[in-house]
Every structure is written in structure tokens, then in C-alpha cells.
Amino acid sequence: MNTATRKTQEHFGQTLQQVQRLLQRHKLVEGMVHRQDMPRHELVEKLVHRQHLAELSLKLDRLHPADIADLLEALPQPDRLTIWELVRNERDGEILLEVSDAVRESLLSAMDSREIIAAAGRLETDELADLAPDLPEHVLSEVMRGLGEDERAQLQSALSYAEHEVGAIMDFDMVTIREDITLQTVLRYLRRFDDLPANTDKLFVIDRDRGFKGVLPLTRLLLNAPDRRVAEVMARDAVTFAPDGRADDAARAFERYDLVSAPVLDSNQRVIGRLTVDDMVDVIRDDSDVLSLAGLKEEDLFSSIWKSARNRGPWLALNICTAFVASRVIGAFETTIAQLVALATLMPIVSGIGGNSGTQTMTLIIRGLALGQITGGNARRLIAKEMGIALLNGMVWGAALGLIAGWLYRQPPLGLVMMGAMVLSLQVAALAAILVPLSMQKLGRDPAYGSSVLLTAITDSMGFFIFLGLATMFLI
Amino acid sequence: MNTATRKTQEHFGQTLQQVQRLLQRHKLVEGMVHRQDMPRHELVEKLVHRQHLAELSLKLDRLHPADIADLLEALPQPDRLTIWELVRNERDGEILLEVSDAVRESLLSAMDSREIIAAAGRLETDELADLAPDLPEHVLSEVMRGLGEDERAQLQSALSYAEHEVGAIMDFDMVTIREDITLQTVLRYLRRFDDLPANTDKLFVIDRDRGFKGVLPLTRLLLNAPDRRVAEVMARDAVTFAPDGRADDAARAFERYDLVSAPVLDSNQRVIGRLTVDDMVDVIRDDSDVLSLAGLKEEDLFSSIWKSARNRGPWLALNICTAFVASRVIGAFETTIAQLVALATLMPIVSGIGGNSGTQTMTLIIRGLALGQITGGNARRLIAKEMGIALLNGMVWGAALGLIAGWLYRQPPLGLVMMGAMVLSLQVAALAAILVPLSMQKLGRDPAYGSSVLLTAITDSMGFFIFLGLATMFLI
């Protein structure tokens, strides 16, 4: 148990296996208990059964909420609910915050209103705001009634922001001080707290109206003489955020300036909340989640077949439509193919390589857009560069494939058509790979989402069209 | 200038545009200066020219190193070098640390040994270790000679770890204290520092031999009475790391336990370094980088066509090979296609949908593997679930496409073959989508890298084989 790296991975694997083993035994015993042919042993088995559950329960009590959340994610629905029932009620809230949306839904559906209200009642306002969209209407209003006036206002404000905005992620738990007091007074003031909010690396300095004046990093508080005043020691050029800013921009700022916490100011420069690095890490993780590239929303690994199929349906349907369009392009050339069947054999190579080379270019462009590196000023230069690469690749690989095709079918003109089609379709792919994400961005959409379907639709259809078109012109 | 969100994105966009404008003017003037037909104005223009550069230089001095790095990434090579020359030499080192590997290479190639040595000399040991792999051999040994004995040992130790290991990422800059002193003494000790290392949220408590005893969070130092002893107040159950642990596991632990800094211990439980959240954020960002999915190493947006083509070449070549194999599968059925050309039109639909549905499944599996959610115990259940979804999708979409195909070609048996092929090829795709990443993992390879090529190779070839095979059996 000497290192957390081992703790987190190996240990989590071990825990998962232990839990699976205990669940297995529990189910075996339960199976025996239910069998009617051995009533004599019933009592004994019920005891064993209870003992396993007690062992499991003890194990769960010792785990960090994040670890229990991972455990729940990794278990199929019935086992998940067995474990969920064993978790002490006081911990329900913090665990619900840690699991994915899909798993949270499955856990909430197994709780009654009373349990949900109790769990929600134990959370901070900003945590409650995270949970709120998943709670049933009547439960939410019940929880609202239980809040103080300030907290209710905070919750309503947090809920008024969209999921990707800073206001939806900020917390309300922070330490503020005035600028005209001495560090000694600050130190004395802090000692009255039982604990500081997590990730407190600086105190926020405000005036009488909560107007933001600057920040006092804890290190400056520690390093300076106690008789100095906050105003002399504080930093005035702190990085601050607006509640309607984008969360992923804020996350980039945290990355760029190595922040641990930062104040959120309203339009009158008043401090209304705080961002912390732990929430930003989650934003970064979600931001670069590969799921969205595959057209998937977050999906519970063990959700029902029906639910999963529904989650993946729209994307698949979209793909079927584009595949159908590409197929109709081929259909237009059926008389050509009937005269030279080799074309049917070779055409998927042209369209496939176009799609692939385009995806490489598009990935770089999407990344450059996300990092703000692509502007109107250099877009034209990028197009020229990418088309240059496509020309080079088209000539080299087109020549190679053309030679092989010409030799395979003993028909040199077929090889030339192959090479010409490769060059042209890679040009089209490069152009589409730049223009598709740029247009998405111009239209105010996320260029990462959906670009790949559109690109493949273009490279497939155009690849078939160019190859079969050239063949019709020159070979038939 | 009221919020950093605006500062970071809009402001960066503005800065980039301003710099581009200044560079533009600078180039115009330079062009005039070089034209021989207007010698009279030469002096004036040289002055204007200098003035633009001075303005640029002033602008750069005010920017954060991370912002200059972004600026360099977003400029083509000649402009990039103009800016790089204007950056004050003292800042070279910190900027080199912030840029991507590809851009770093282009900047280093424009510096002479003396400049590189000067820049490297200003860095901390752990920063130097990040830069070292990119430095020329003789420069590195020169820099090594300039280091003290301790620092040289640290650098050598850091260089002895692989890039993905904790030891390569840890820094050596930390504050350690003994457990038998009072908090008052700690406070007095800290005031002797000019500054604490970045991201210091806790002090490490050690014994005489640097043996790790626990951590003293700054908040506990602030909240407790000054006459208490460190041993009474410190946390003994701190999360620690081993230098040979995986960096991405450590990053997950930082995420999971909301850490800001944590000690790295050797096998004798001695403190040898420190991990901080800013480095972990970079690991998370790289970890989920979309580039590797497209088979790309980090690439400079403005590198030469030749260099880029070489970077993307191997992946493209691999794809051409798999496309060629799929094409040979079609080639085996040329006599079938010659008898029924509609097959050539319809076959890309079958292979395309298989690839797509397989990619969805594989994305979920790769993510589940990364999160440690998939074990031997639940793999079989996942296979059953995914094949169930594939069966459902195959029947629904297969029936729809079968109806359309049968109607388009007035040939109901063709529709039935289409439907059967969809069902079967989606089954194959689901199976491959699970087994490919699982096998990669078993072989100790990163399941995210290269799995998609292998999957597409299987779904393409098998899609064509199943569809054309069924057609040969039932339609010819």
C-alpha cells in the first residue's frame, strides 16, 4: 500500500475482483436459499448470506466516494443495485456526484423520493446544481424548500446557466477579506474556521459591496511579515472569469496560467463565485472525450440493449443516409462497371484512401481551431500546404497503386485512370477536410462534432464519382 | 480587460491579429528598403521598420510565456523566427518549455549553441529534463557541466525514466519540514523564503533520512494554534507516488482525489520529488489527444509539406495495404458482379455501416479499458450485449435497406441478401470491435492506437465477403 499509483489502478482492479467474488458467493447462497428442497439448511445459509453482505458493506465504508463510483460503473445493473443498497445513506449524495450521467440515472431510479431528498439535502449548493437536472421535478422543489434564502438564490443562479458556461460550474464556497486589515488579523480570522474550502490557495480581497480588489495567495500570507496590510501584499492583476464565459475557455486559462482557484465576477466586478482546478480537470477530460467523435453521448457500459441502440441510432441513421448517397453515385455508373468489372474491385481503394487522408488533415485543423491557432490570415496558407501534401501523396501512392492495378489486369490505361483518380480525390479530400470544420466553426457549431460524417460523405461520393467518371471518359 | 475568459480567447485572437498586422507592415517596409529605386527614403523607412519591431518587442514583453508559445505555434516559419528573435533571451527557456515538440525543434534549429546553453542554464532541473531530449548532444553535456552536483544527479535521475513514467514528470522543488517542531517555527521558517514553489498547497514532513512521515497542508498550518506541533496536526494518510508508476495513472489519482501536489517516494519511502496538478493537467490533455487516433504524431501546423507527408506516411501506407486486401476480396467475386452489377452499387453500404457501428462499440470499449471498468469477469457479458445491439440494428436497418434495394432493382431476393448481409456483418463488426482492443491490451499495447485501422480492415473485407458470398450462393 505504499504508493497511490498502485493504489489507484491495481488496487481498484483488486477491489473490483473482490467485490465481484463476494457478490458471486452472495448470489450462490441466495440461490440455495430459494431452492425449496433443502429447508433444513435455510437458517445457516441466511446467516452466511448476511455475513457476505456485512463484509461487503465494511469494504465499501473504507473506500473513497470516487472509488465507489468507479465500482458502480463497472458492475452490471443487478450487482450495481446490490452494492448501492449497501452504501451508507449519508454517502449517497457525494457518490451520485461522481458517477456518469447514465449510471446516475440508473441509481436514482432505484431510490424513492424520501431517499433522494435526504441525499440531496447533504450537498453544497453548487453540487446540488450539478445533480438538479437529473432529479424528478417534485423532489427538486422539495429540496428547494429545505434551503435557506441565500442558498436558494445561489442554486437558481447556477441553474440559469447552460452546462458549458462558467456559471454552471462555479462554487459559492470561498473566503473573502478586506484590504485594510493586517496579515496578523487575517491569520487570526482564519483560525476561527474549522476548515477552508477545498482548493483554497488564495483569499479574495473585496470592498464593502463585494467589489473585487485583488487576491491574497496563501503563500504571500505566509511569507510576509504579520504587521503588513493586505493591500500592500495582495496581487491586483489576478485572472478572473465571467459567469457567462465558456467553461472550456476557462479550463484553458487554468492550464495556461497554472491556476488552482480563481474568482468569478459579475458585470459590476462583484465576486459571485469561484472556479477550482478540480472542476476544470473534469472539463478538460470531457472536452477531449473520444465518445463525441464517434457520435455517442455518455453511455452506461451495462445499460439495456434497447437503450444503447437508441443512443447510437441517430448517428448510424445519418451514416446510412450518406452511404446510400454514395451508393447512388456508383449506381449512375452501372453500365460502365458492367463493361469493366475491375472498376468495382478498385473503387473502394480510391474512396477509402481519400477518407483516410482527409481525416488526418481534419484532425489537425480541428485541433488548431480549438487552440485558436487558425485565423482568417493563415487559413489560405494551410489550404495550400494541405493540398500540396495531398498532391505529393496522390502522385506517390497513386503511381504505386496504378502500376499494381495496370499489371494485375494487364491494362496500362486502367493504371493511369487509377493514378489520376487518386490525385484528384486526395485534392478534394484535403479541401473538404479544411472547409468542413472551418464552416462548422463559422456557423457557431462545435467543429469536432459531426464533421467526420460530413467529410466521409464527401470523400466517398466524390471518390467514386471521380474514379468511375474518369474510367467512363477514357476506358469505355 | 475584466475577465480572463475574454482575455484568453478573444485577447489571444486580438494579439495574434495585431502581431500579424505588425509583421505585415514590417515586411512591406523591408520590401521597400530592398528596392533600389528609392534610395532617398531609405533612412526614413529603416526608422519606420525599426519602430514596428520595437512596438512588437514591447508587446511581447507584456505577454505570458504560454501566450508567446501559442503565438509561435500559430505563425508560419519565417514570421515565427522574426518573433522569436524579438523575444528577450532570458525568456527563451520558459517559452521553449511551453511550445509543442514540433515547434520547439524549429525554434532550436534557429539558435546557435551559445544561445541554447544560455537558455537552458536558466531552467530548473526538472524543466531541463523536459527539454533535454531535443537538445544536441554537445549542448547537453555543456549544460551538464554547468550544474552543481545535486542538480546533475537530479537531471540524470529524471532522464533515466521513460516519458510516460512519474519520474520523468516530477519536480525537485519542494519545502520539507520535521515533525517535532511547532507550527510557529514552521511559520518563521517559511518567512525566510522569497517565494514558495508553484502549487505548494502542503509541506512534506520528513525524518532525518528524508523518510516520509506525512504532509502538512497549508490550510492546517493556518487554521491551528501556533504552539501545536507538526506531528499533531499533519496528515499521515497522504496519497504518494512511486517514480516508476505510470503518469496517466497518477493523473487519474489527482483527478480522483482532487490533489494539487503530492510527494514521490523511492522504494525506501524517502521523498525524492513532487508531482503538481499543472503537469497532471498536461498529461490528461495529451492522454486524450485525438491526434493519436488519426495515426498522427504531434505535428507543427506550418511544417514543410515534405515533413508533414513523412509524418503521415506510415499510417496512410498501412491503410492502403488494408484497402488493397479488401479490394482483393471483391476481386474474388468479379464473375458474380459481372452477372449482377447492382451488387457493386450496394456493397459499400454493407461495409460502411459495419465499420461505423463497429467504431461506436470500439470507442466505448477503449474508454472502459482506460477506466479499468472492463475485467475478465464482465467481458463476456459485454460481448453478449454488443452482439444483441448489432442484431437489433442489423434487423431494423437491414430490413429497411433490403426493402429499398429490392424495390430499386425490382428483385426481392436481392433485398433479402442485403438484409442477411447487414445482420451478419454487424455481428462480425461488434465481435471485432470488442476483441481487437482487448487483444491489444493483452499484448501490452495501447488499445487506442491502431485499433481503428485493424477494425476497418476487418469490417471492410468481411462486409464485402459476406455480401458478395451470400449473393453468389442465392442469386447467381
| pLDDT per position as a tens digit, A138-148 | 888 888 888 88
pLDDT (0 to 100) of residue B10? 52
Most B CBs within 10 A among A356, A391, A426, hence the mutation to make, goes to: A356
Would residue B49 count as lying in a domain? Answer: yes
Residues A375 and A464 in one domain: yes
Q: Do B261 and B143 belong to one domain?
A: no
For residue A184, the model assigns a pLDDT of 93
The ranges of chain B with pLDDT < 50 are: 1-9, 33-40
Say whether both A200 and A282 belong to one domain: yes
Domain with residue B242: its CATH number is: 3.10.580.10
Does one domain contain both A411 and A280? no
Give long-range contacts, CB 8 A cutoff, 24+ apart: B22-29.
Answer: B22/B52, B22/B55, B22/B56, B22/B59, B23/B56, B23/B75, B23/B79, B23/B82, B23/B83, B25/B52, B26/B52, B26/B53, B26/B56, B26/B82
Q: Is A44 on the interface with B (CB under 8 A)?
A: no
Last residue of a domain, one of B116, B142, B169: B169
Q: Does B1 touch chain A (CB under 8 A)?
A: no
Asked if pLDDT for residue A3 goes beyond 60, the answer is no
Residues of B in contact with A246 (CB under 8 A): 5, 9
CATH code (residue B142) = 1.25.60.10
Closest chain B residue to the Cα of A2, Cα to Cα: B240
* Residue B349 to residue A324, Cβ atoms within 8 A: yes
Range of the domain at B219: 176-288
Contacts of B14 in chain A (CB under 8 A): none
Sole residue written with cell 475478465: B376
Place of cell 488496487: A11
In angstroms, how far is the first alpha carbon of chain A from the final one?
A: 74
Partner A contacted by B171 (CB < 8 A): no
Higher pLDDT, B304 or A219: A219
Stretch among A77-91, A171-185, A412-426, B26-40 having the lowest mean pLDDT: B26-40
Q: State whether B23 and B153 are in the same domain.
A: yes
Please report which residue ranges of B332-341 form alpha helices under DSSP H: 334-339
In a domain, A296, yes or no: no
Task: Specify whether A320 is located in the same domain as A380.
Answer: yes
What is the per-residue pLDDT for A391? 95
**Which B residues, 110 through 139, put their C-beta within 8 Å of a C-beta on chain A?**
none
Indicate the average pLDDT of chain A: 86
Per-residue model confidence (pLDDT) at position B190: 94
* Confidence class for position A43, pLDDT limits 50, 70, 90: low
Residue B159 cell numbers, joined: 532522464
Q: What is the pLDDT of residue A31?
A: 55
| Record: contact A242-B375, CB cut-off 8 A | no
Residue B434 lies in a domain: yes
B interface test, pick of A203, A345, A346, A396 with most B CB neighbours within 10 Å:
A345
Q: Say whether pLDDT at A402 is over 70.
A: yes
Distance CA B446, CA A137 (A): 44
With beta carbons under 8 A apart, name residues in chain A contacting B389: 305, 308-309, 312
Residues 230-249 of A with CB under 8 A from B: 239-242, 245-246, 249
Domain-embedded: residue B155: yes
Which stretch of DSSP H or E encloses residue B72? helix B65-73
pLDDT of residue B288: 59
Taking one residue from A and the other from B, the number of pairs with CB-CB distance under 8 angstroms is 400
- Residue B300 domain-assigned? no
Number of domains within chain B = 3
pLDDT score of A400 more than 70: yes
Sign of the four-CA dihedral B80, B85, B87, B91: positive
Instruction: Say which of A301, A367, A372 has its CB closest to residue B373.
Output: A301
Question: What is the predicted pLDDT for the residue at B4?
Answer: 43
pLDDT above 90: residue A186: yes
- Computed on alpha carbons and rounded to an integer, the radius of gyration of chain B in Å comes to 31
Among residues A116, A144, A164, which one ends one of the domains? A164
Residue B296 lies in a domain: no
Per-residue pLDDT band for A330 (boundaries 50, 70, 90) equals very high
Which one has a higher pLDDT value, A451 or A275?
Answer: A275
For residues B314 and B405, state if they share a domain: yes
Query: Is residue A367 situated within a structural domain?
Result: yes
Pair A185, A70 in one domain: no
Residues B209 and B271 in one domain: yes
pLDDT given for residue A4 in this prediction: 44
Q: What's the pLDDT score for residue B85?
A: 87
Q: Are residues A265 and A361 both part of a single domain? A: no
Binary contact (A401, B324; C-beta < 8 A) = yes
